[in-house]
Amino acid sequence: MLSPDAVGEVCIVVIGIGVIGCGYWGPNLLRNFYELESCRLTWCCDARPERLRWVQGRYPTVRTTTSWEELLRAPDVQAVAIATPVSTHARLAREALRRGKDVLVEKPLTASVREAEALVALAEQERRILMVDHVFVYSGAVRAVKEVIRRGELGDLYYFDSVRVNLGLFQHDVNVLWDLAPHDLAIMDYLLELEPEAVMAVGACNVGTGIENLAYVTIRFAGHLLAHIHVNWLAPVKARRTLLCGSRKMIIYDDTEPSEKVKVYDRGITFNGDQSLIHQALIEYRTGDMYAPRIEPTEALRRVCGHFLECVEARKAPLTDGEAGLRVVRLLERAEASMRAGGVEQRLVA
């Protein structure tokens, strides 16, 4: 039940939020929920007491515990955000949903399709909100790309090509595929809104940890549309670049650019001629103008937290709901199966 805060005649509903996991990413959730007016950050849980001391120093009004059970029992926690390692997501989210909490889970939703399907079913059964933090879907840049696609400017889409590489952070519980590719897969899922037909992937472990630090993933859609994703923890510089090519225009989205992250190019080729007489064929190159759409500067995670609260209040399905989380986990699981089989294509549709 939501706790109402009476302000004069007006009754404002304030949602009590508990955050589980305060390592590298959790503090970003704490900061955003703390600053948003439609909720009150009431609890934070982490298994490590030193992290809780950090929370107490920064947010003295927030109660802390090393026990997630204690947090889930607290009457002033209506909704929970989970930022613990991927292997713990399913259990913590399940326990929260069973106790009637609405749940925001960090990406990827779970470590397996089986777990993600069970969570989606449980959230529906309990009539709870289940949302996954596919943070880039809420970024101004990706939303600007979506607008260009929605207006039909690209024409027929030919390919989606994404590079997400940097030096580290090496994870010990997941490989680079499960760590970085959820971002590209979530962006692709949001932009394309298409069901992939098959996936193939290869990967390598270059540093003796037994965990792949490099992966190349190729996804096939109906027709000739292809997506390719390159994720890597062993690169000298950080690159975050997505290329979308259509029959009419092309887009480069470079998230490392301080401004003008999205550029739309009126470039392409036109093939004039008879394919059977290839030596007579004429290829015309079109090099028209480029423009950079205006990008809304709000922090993407602020939007994630705000959207979650809106959905909790209005009891509406989030943009990145459990199903969206499941679609990304399905691709990750099949890509990993392909990687284990030396790159053999894994079909996603019958």
Ligand X SMILES: NC(=O)c1ccc[n+]([C@@H]2O[C@H](COP(=O)([O-])OP(=O)(O)OC[C@H]3O[C@@H](n4cnc5c(N)ncnc54)[C@H](O)[C@@H]3O)[C@@H](O)[C@H]2O)c1
23 near ligand X, rule: CB under 6 A:
yes
Of 16-24, 53-61, 113-121, 141-149, which segment contacts ligand X by CB under 6 A? 16-24
Find the binder of ligand X among 17, 42, 51, 308 (CB under 6 A).
51
- The yes or no reply on residue 20 touching ligand X (CB under 6 A) is yes
Beta carbon of residue 68, minimum distance to ligand X (angstroms, whole number)? 5
Closest CA to 167 of 213, 239, 236: 236
Q: For ligand X, which is the closer residue by CB, 51 or 240? A: 51
Choose one: 15-23, 139-147, 160-168, 257-265; the region binding ligand X (CB under 6 A). 15-23
Backbone phi, psi, residue 126, to 5°: -85, -5
Q: How far is the CB of 27 from ligand X (least distance, A)?
A: 8
Token pair recorded at residue 339 = 């990687």
Nearest residue (CB) to ligand X, 14 versus 133: 133
64 near ligand X (CB under 6 A): no
> Quick one: which segment of 47-55, 115-123, 187-195, 212-220 binds ligand X (CB under 6 A)?
47-55
Q: Does the footprint of ligand X cover residue 21 (CB under 6 A)? A: yes
Q: Which CA distances in Å does 236 have to 28, 179, 214? A: 26, 18, 13
Tell which residue, 95, 109, 106, 102, has the closest CA to residue 26: 106
Kindly identify the residues of this chain, within the stretch 227-286, that bind ligand X according to CB under 6 A: none
- Between strands 157-167 and 282-291, the pairing is unpaired
Contact between 149 and ligand X (CB under 6 A)?
no
17 lies in the binding site for ligand X (CB under 6 A)? no
Q: Which tokens belong to 57?
A: 């120093």
The least distance separating ligand X from the CB of residue 88, rounded to whole angstroms, comes to: 5
DSSP letter at 9 equals T
Please, which of residues 98-117 interact with ligand X by CB under 6 A?
106-107
Nearest to 166 by CA among 276, 255, 282: 255
Residue 78 CB, shortest distance to ligand X, in Å, is 19
Nearer to ligand X (CB atom), residue 52 or residue 339: 52
The total number of residues written for the chain in this structure: 350
Q: Which is nearer to ligand X, 21 or 196 (CB)?
A: 21
Round to whole Å and give the CA distance between 101 and 105.
Answer: 12
133 binds ligand X (CB under 6 A): yes
Q: Count CB neighbours of 124 within 10 A.
A: 13
Q: Would you count residue 184 as binding ligand X (CB under 6 A)?
A: no
C-alpha to C-alpha distances, 184 to 155, 164, 187, 242, 275, nearest whole angstrom: 22, 8, 5, 9, 35
Joined tokens for residue 343: 């790159």
Binding mask 65-94 for ligand X (x = CB under 6 A): ---x--------------xxxx-x------
Contact stretch for ligand X (CB under 6 A) within 42-50, 121-129, 190-198, 239-247: 42-50
Q: Does 24 bind ligand X (CB under 6 A)?
A: yes
Nearer to ligand X, 56 or 88 (CB): 88
Copy the structure tokens of residue 346: 């894994």
Residue closer to ligand X by CB (options 18, 268) is 18
Name the E strands within the chain: 3-7, 10-20, 39-45, 63-65, 79-82, 102-106, 130-133, 157-167, 198-204, 214-220, 226-232, 234-246, 250-254, 262-272, 282-291, 346-347
Which chain residues interact with ligand X by CB under 6 A?
A: 20-26, 45-48, 51, 68, 83-86, 88, 106-107, 133, 135
